Amino acid sequence: MQVKYTGTTVEIFSKDLRLATHRRLYGPKGQYSTVLAHMPPEHQAYLEWDDKRFLSWALAIGPCTHKVVKGILDASKIKQQAFKSCMGLLKLADRYSKPLLEQAAQTALAFSKRPSYKTVHKILLAQVEDKHVKSDVQEDTHAFTRGAHYYGDER
């Protein structure tokens, strides 16, 4: 792989084959330029989305989920780069439930003004695990109790 650049252009080559040409960007570090045709189809789909769509979807789940999504979007300099985290977060409602996601978002907001997808997901997993443990304990509390008749006391 070889990169050649001039004052106005950046070119990427593999052997003698030019793979891509981009306009050279000046200014603050971290800028990027992507040619739509170079993006995988699943990434191209994100270009049709905007932050309003994610915020609306989050609000349908609850106000805390909305705050978390807004925080994720606000923390990213380039909104489209936050869309994957937002999508992952909102899809958790399909896997677990809207109320559980909203509860996890509320808990996460109690710890941080801008919790991440990872934080909310870990809280959600802990909530689900805690529910399973509590329900198992409640169901099995007397599962091994044999009673007096088992030990020969016929009272």
The residue extents of the domains of the chain are 2-33, 46-140
Contact 75, 115 (CB under 8 A): no
The predicted pLDDT at position 122 comes to 95
Mean pLDDT, 10 residues at a time, over the chain (155 residues)? 92 90 85 76 75 95 97 88 91 94 96 93 90 56 56 60
pTM recorded for the entire structure? 0.63
Token representation of residue 134: 């509590």
The predicted pLDDT at position 37 comes to 78
The predicted pLDDT at position 144 comes to 54
The predicted pLDDT at position 34 comes to 73
Cα separation, 1 vs 24, in Å, equals: 18
Contact 23, 6 (CB under 8 A): no
Residue 82 neighbours by CB distance under 10 Å: 20
Taking the alpha carbons at both ends of the chain, their separation in whole angstroms is: 87
